[in-house]
């Protein structure tokens, strides 16, 4: 997104994409949307019969953005089942950190309850590309 991120729209994309989640095992359906330097990209969680290879909605959305050429993510919206706003898991926090350590993370429960953070609050002192610079 080159224009300022409209978080309400981003949440709406996440909410709509949640309907396409493939979550027959956990039955915890999640949608996500990222606002990137290449536009908005959506994702949903995709589970697998080999449970451990399942992937979260946030990483699907971020990977779609990057595969389209985006390299910076300004905001991510998450839409889970509630009753509380779903916070991104630790693996997703690390995955997203690569593309915007200070990005806005907004999560909305079905009833409309919203939580909002900076990724840097959710993952303090994160490990990013800078850590690899100048390493032996
Ligand atoms: N999940 C997400 O997609 N995003 C989150 O932020 C939390 C968890 C998925 C993974 C799994 O398919 C299901 O929700 C239950 O953990």
The CATH code of the domain that includes 109 is 3.40.140.10
User: Which residue segment(s) compose the domain that 84 sits in?
Assistant: 7-121
pLDDT at 108: 98
In a domain, 132, yes or no: no
In a domain, 1, yes or no: no
In a domain, 12, yes or no: yes
In a domain, 135, yes or no: no
Closest atom of ligand 1 to CA, residue 87 = 6
89: Cβ below 6 Å to ligand 1?
yes
In a domain, 136, yes or no: no
45: Cβ below 6 Å to ligand 1?
yes
56: Cβ below 6 Å to ligand 1?
yes
Sort residue 82 into left (φ over 0), alpha (ψ -120 to 50) or beta: left
**pTM summary value:** 0.96
Residues 91-120 as b/e (b if ≥16 CB within 10 A, e otherwise) read ebbbbbbebbbebbbbbbbeeeeeeeeebe
pLDDT beyond 80 at 2: no
Residue nearest to atom 8 of ligand 1 (CA): 56
Quick: pLDDT tens for 86-120.
Answer: 999 999 999 999 999 999 999 999 999 999 999 99
Per the structure, how many domains does the chain have?
1
In a domain, 2, yes or no: no
Distances (CA, A) of 48 to 6, 25, 60, 136: 33, 8, 14, 38
81 CA distance to ligand 1 centroid (A)? Answer: 10
In a domain, 134, yes or no: no
């Amino acid at each position: 997104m080159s224009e300022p991120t409209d978080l309400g729209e981003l949440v709406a994309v996440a909410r709509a994409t949640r309907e396409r989640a493939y979550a027959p095992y956990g039955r915890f359906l999640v949608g996500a949307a990222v606002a990137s330097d290449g536009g908005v990209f959506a994702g949903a969680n995709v589970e697998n019969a080999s449970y451990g290879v399942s992937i979260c909605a946030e990483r699907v959305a971020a990977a779609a953005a990057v595969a389209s050429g985006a390299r910076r993510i300004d905001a991510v919206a998450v839409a889970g089942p509630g009753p509380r706003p779903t916070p991104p898991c630790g693996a997703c926090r690390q995955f997203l950190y690569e593309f915007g350590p200070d990005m806005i993370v907004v999560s909305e429960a079905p009833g409309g309850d919203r939580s909002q953070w900076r990724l840097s609050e959710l993952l303090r002192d994160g490990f990013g590309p800078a850590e690899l610079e100048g390493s032996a």
